[in-house]
Amino acid sequence: MKLLKNLSIFTETYGCTYNAGDTEKLMEIARSQGCVPALSADQADAVLINTCVVIGRTEQHMYERLDCYAEKLLFVTGCLPPVAKEVLETRYPHIHIIDPDHIHACYMEVATAHSGTNGVLQIARGCNGHCTYCITRLARGKLVSFPAEDILRQAESIIKAGASEIQLTAQDTSSWGMDRNDGKRLPDLLRALCKLPGHFMIRIGMANPDTLLPLLDDFLEALQDPKIFLFLHIPVQSGSDPVLRLMGRRYTSAQYEEICTRAREAFPDIRISTDYIAGFSGETDEDAAASVEQIRRTKPGKVNITRFSVRQNTPAAKMKKIPEQIKKQRSRELTTAANSVYDANNAEMIGRILKAVVTEVVKLGSVTARDRTYQNIVVMQDIPIGTEIRVKITGHRRHYLIGELI
C-alpha cells in the first residue's frame, strides 16, 4: 500500500461486484497518499489490475492483461495472487502484489468514498461453503463478517458522496453475521441501513439458498422497507439433487424453489436472478433436463449460465469430465429456456405503469431507469440521473423493457 503514493494510476477490474468494491477502496487509499486516476495506461505512472479466476478462461485472460503491462509499474490484487502467487512472482519479477485481505483494514483508516451514483458496500469476505468446484473460496478464505458499525460508517460515506444506489456485496450476503457472537444477521443489518438518512436504494447481492432459507421470514419482512430493491440473486447451479450433492451444495432443488415461492407470495413482482452450471462432472442427460425444466417452471428474471470449468486443487478436478461439445449443447439448451422465459415475463409487463429511477445515460437521447424490482427500462429521452419518473411499458428487447415517460 505504501507504494501507492504520488502516482497517476490506471485500473482494470474483473469479476464480481466485490472486486469492484476493492478497487474503489484501493483508489481511495491511493488518493489519500497523493495519487490520481489516469484515463489510460499510456498516461499512467502505474497500472493496477484487480483479478478474477472464477473459470479457467478468465484466469488465462488475467495473464494476457498482465502481459500487456509487464513493462509498467504494475500492481495486482484480487483472487489471482492467493492461488497463483509463485507463478506471478516468477512470470513478473517486478510485480507488486496487494493482499486483498488487507484492503478493508487499510481503507477503514481513510474512510472516504468515491463520488458516483452507485456505491459498492462490502459486508463480508470469504464463505463457509464447501463447493467442490469453487476456487474463489480458496482465494478468499473462510467467512469474515465486517462489523455493523464499520458497514454503517461506510454507507454514510457512500451516501454523502452522492450514491443513490448502494450495492451490498459479499461472496454470500445471507451468511453475514454467522461467524459473530452478537446474534445479528442480514435482516438486522438491512434494517439499520434503511434507517440512515438520505435518498438511496439498496441492492442485495448474491445469497446462497442454504444460508438464506433459515432466516427467510425475517429477511422478507426486512424487504418491506421501500429503500430495498425487490431483487434477489439466488444461485441454484443445478435443478438436479444428485448434481447438487456432487457440487457440495447444501440444499435441494426443492428448497431453492421454496425460496422462490415464498418470496413471490410476499412480493408478487419480486425479480429473481439465478445461476446454472452446464455440464458439471457427473451430470447426466436427465440432470441437464431437470435444470432446463426448472428454469421454465420457476421463471427467473435473469439467468447466468456458465459451462463447467475445471479449477486445479479443487475436489471436482478429480471427477470424470464431460466432453466440451456436450457442455456447449447443454449451455445452449439452458439459454434457450431462459430466453423463452424472459420473453414471456416481459410480454406480461406491456401496458403497465411503473415508478422508476434514472440510473445511467445509455447514449445521447436515451437513459436507463430501474423500477423497484431492478428491471432495466430504456426511455428515449434526456433525463437527469437520479430523477424519479413514471413510465408506461410499451415494448421489450428481451434483456430490457422499453418505456414512455408519463
54: CATH = 3.40.50.12160
- Tell me the pTM: 0.93
* 48/129 same-domain check: no
Distance, in Å, from the CA atom of 163 to the CA atom of 182, rounded to the nearest integer, reads 29
* 22/53 same-domain check: yes
* 358/268 same-domain check: no
Mean pLDDT of 147-151: 95
pLDDT digits (tens, 9 = 90+) for 60-92: 999 999 999 989 999 999 999 999 999 999 999
Q: Is 67 helix (H, G, I), strand (E, B) or coil?
A: helix
* 293/232 same-domain check: yes
Percentage of the chain beyond pLDDT 90 is 87
CA angle 174, 49, 20 (to 5 degrees): 30
* 123/265 same-domain check: yes
Q: Which residue has the cell 444460508?
A: 211
Q: Domain residues for 284?
A: 114-347
- Measured in whole angstroms, the distance separating CA 269 from the mean position of its chain's CA atoms is 21
2 part of a folded domain: no
Predicted local distance difference test score (pLDDT) of residue 196: 97
Domain boundary among 332, 347, 362: 347
Q: Where in 15-172 does DSSP place strands (E)?
A: 36-37, 46-51, 73-78, 96-97, 118-122, 124-125, 144-145, 165-169
* 90/118 same-domain check: no
Does the structure show a pLDDT above 80 at 111? no
Percentage of the chain beyond pLDDT 70 is 100
pLDDT digits (tens, 9 = 90+) for 273-289: 999 999 999 999 999 99
Domain boundary among 49, 71, 102: 102
1 part of a folded domain: no
- Highest mean pLDDT of the ranges 125-129, 134-138, 235-239, 319-323: 235-239
Does the structure show a pLDDT above 80 at 11? yes
Predicted local distance difference test score (pLDDT) of residue 235: 98
* 126/61 same-domain check: no
134 part of a folded domain: yes
383 part of a folded domain: yes
Predicted local distance difference test score (pLDDT) of residue 386: 84
Cβ neighbourhood burial of 93 (10 Å; 0-12, 13-18, 19+): exposed
- Measured in whole angstroms, the distance separating CA 139 from the mean position of its chain's CA atoms is 16
* 140/35 same-domain check: no
The type of residue at 73 is L
Q: Is 364 helix (H, G, I), strand (E, B) or coil?
A: coil
Distance, in Å, from the CA atom of 17 to the CA atom of 276, rounded to the nearest integer, reads 19
3 part of a folded domain: no
* 359/262 same-domain check: no
53 part of a folded domain: yes
293 part of a folded domain: yes
Domain boundary among 312, 328, 347: 347
**For the chain, what is the domain count?**
3
- For the chain, give the mean pLDDT: 94
Positive or negative torsion for Cα 134, 136, 138, 144: negative
The DSSP element (H or E) to which 53 belongs, if any, is none
